[in-house]
Every structure is written in structure tokens, then in C-alpha cells.
Amino acid sequence: MTMKIIMDTDPGIDDAAALTMAINDPEIDLKLITAVAGNVTVDKTTANALKIVHFFGKDQEIPVAAGAKEPLIKPFEDAARIHGASGMEGYDFGDDYGEPIAKSAVEALHDAIMAEDEVILVPTGSYTNIALLFKQYPEVKSHIKEIVAMGGSISGGNMTSIAEFNVFTDPDAAEIMYKSGVPIVTVGLDVTLKALITPATLNQLKDMNETGKMLYGLINNYNDVTEAGHPMHDVNTIFYLLHPEAYQTKDLWVDIQTSGPAIGGMVADIRGAYHDGKTNAKVCVDIDAAAFNQWFLDEVSHMK
């Protein structure tokens, strides 16, 4: 039985790789893609989502809707320095990739969620669209099986000493999402900085097939890199859905800092001391990185 998912995303190179996995894995039924401002502006993230859908010939099957142009309150700050001016540098997708649907992201999310019994939301950008959805249509919450969200960290940030990019971009939206009561799996920097596409894996992609060539081009132009490899942050959401056994998790209560020097920070009640034993997130804290690399290669080997 396939998992019905909706991806809310801001492509972005690692988002593009996550979309690639979600579109092609037979265990996943990707119902909708909604775009949000994040790694680059929303016009570019929408175009990039359309490019990936068109690359795999899914234009008629997977709708793409444009969403929020800016965070709820905080001024917008992109990550073009990491992903390039277009957000997806390194491969020529051409100019014939279609248009988003007429519905806004919030309307499209509402309609797609209400049409299903249990759907999994997979946000891999800032959570602005999700927050707007919950504020406008709280009834959708009971139709969402869980949220598997890339973002946050309980061990240190990549924007500040505490804040991770997706949460930092719109901390007010993150607070709304974490207070929503919907079950949340947090796939944050605690694991994504360990899930590196190694140089050996990257070199194998290059000559594998056209998808491998595309991903090789994108990842080679991805400025989030160490000597050990490129962290594929957003791809971890899909790997978690398919292989949760590869992750160690902790059930915790997490709060989001929405102001001050720790803005965008995720604070976990690791002692269970302040919320009467309640938790609001299953936080991924470790990963089998070798299994992640092998899975990545296996997935791509079966693509076009």
C-alpha cells in the first residue's frame, strides 16, 4: 500500500533531490507539490518544482501550486549563496516546464488534504504555507496522518549557533505548526549533517543515467559541502518515510524561539521537566549514513 504524501518545498538543490525520490519511488503516491519562499524567491521555487515534475514527465499527474512569498512576520532572507541564483544551478532543464495551477498553495493544500483519509505532509522549506493553512482551515488537521518535516535542530544550527535555516526563515510559522497538535517527526540537522552524499556516491551518479547526470550537476553546484560530502537535508524526509529503522528518535516537547538572539532556535525539553510528560515531536537524533548512501544510489539506478 502506497503512502499518500504532499510536499511543501522551496527547491533548492536538496529539495530537488527529495522531489526526485518522492516522484519515483513506487511506495509513495505524491498528490501535490506546494512551493514557498525559502532557498530562493517563491517564483523561482515554484519554477524549480515544475522543472523536476516535467523532467520526469509527471506534468499531468502531480499539480504544483505557488505559495507564500514571505514569512509571516520576519523579513525574508534567502539562501541563494548556497543554491545559486536560480536555486537549481548545474543542469539545463530548458524553458518548457509549464505553469502552476490556478489555486494558491493554501487552497490546494486544503482541497488535497480533505480529499484523503490520511495524508502525510512533508515540508522541506519554511513552514509558512502550513501555518497559513492551519490558521485558515483548522479542520484539515484531523485528516493529516503526520507531518515529516525537515528543519530544526536540538544540537546546534546552521544560521546561528542554535537556529536551522527552515525554522529561522519563519519561526512564527514553525511555532504554529509545532503547537498544532498534529503528530510531527522532526528531521533536523541532528541527522541531516550526518547523511552526506559522499564523493564516492556522487561520482557514481555521474554516469548512471540521465537522472544521475542531473543530480550530479545539481549537487556539484551545491555550496553546502564539507570534505566528507554534501548534506542532503531534505532527502532525509523521504528516506525516513521509507526506512524509519535507519533512524534513532526521541519523543520530546520542542518549543520554537520567535524573537531575540535565539530567534529560530528549537528548544527541547530533554529532561521532560516542563510539560507534564507531554511530547509534540518525534525528533530524529541519529542515522545509518552508509545505508542512506546505498539507498540513494539504488533509487537513482531505477530511474530514467
Instruction: For residues 238 and 9, give the distance between their C-alpha atoms in angstroms, rounded to a whole number.
Output: 13
For the chain, what is the largest distance between any 2 Cα atoms, rounded to a whole number of angstroms? 55
Which residues are 163's β-sheet partners? Answer: 265
Of 4, 24, 9, residue with least CA distance to 214? 24
- Point out the catalytic residue in the list 233, 243, 275, 302: 233
Task: Indicate if 110 belongs to the active site.
Answer: no
Instruction: For residues 300 and 237, give the distance between their C-alpha atoms in angstroms, rounded to a whole number.
Output: 16
Alpha helix (H) ranges present in the chain?
A: 13-24, 42-55, 80-83, 105-114, 128-136, 165-169, 171-178, 189-192, 199-206, 210-220, 235-242, 289-301
Active site residues: 233
